[in-house]
Amino acid sequence: MVTDANMQVPPPGDTEPVKAEVYCIRGETVSIGGAMEWIIAELARRFAHTTEKKPKRQWGDLKRYIKTEGLNPALQDELGDVTGYFRPRNLAAHAGVMIVGVAEATQIFRLYRDKGIPQVELVTLDELRDETATARSGYRAIQVVGRALDDYAPAVLADMNELNRARLLGESESRPPS
């Protein structure tokens, strides 16, 4: 039995630039998520009359409304982009990240749970950037969905102030209700 052991391990390499980049990428993805979730909640509340509190459930209610009203064929790409946003946002907001410098290499490990099962992934900065691009695509798509809903039923958003309208639809001009 070893009672006195001493391990000599050199300090990790310089990982600060990688840490800073990961921080920025994750921050952007989470920030996009906050804006998107407000848009989803507002559209779901106003059009689908949802009482749900969770963004994924609000999105489900809004998609059902879009389908019921027959608007989904024209919005298939956008609906897919919005649905695709949820995983990158949840990983950016909730997964742990461990950045390890070994010799000349820096590795990024993402730790999260999938259906309660712990997962560890080795990810690259490019993969994290791609996830941010997916979130951006979802953000643009939810605004397209909002504009389509506004075109379909302009009276629903007629009382909205200019700032919220710009945030919701990506445009600032008011349209009179029809």
pLDDT single digits (tens) 74-115: 999 999 999 999 999 999 999 999 988 766 778 899 999 999
Tens digit of pLDDT for each residue in 114-146? 999 999 999 999 999 999 999 999 999 999 999
Q: pTM to 2 decimals?
A: 0.83
Residue 176: pLDDT above 80? no
Percent of the chain whose predicted confidence (pLDDT) is above 90? 76
Dist. CA 147–CA 71, nearest whole Å: 12
| pLDDT band, very low/low/confident/very high, at 2 (cuts 50, 70, 90) | very low
Lowest mean pLDDT among 50-59, 88-97, 98-107, 151-160: 98-107
Instruction: Pull the structure tokens for residue 52.
Output: 């749900």
Residue 4: pLDDT above 80? no
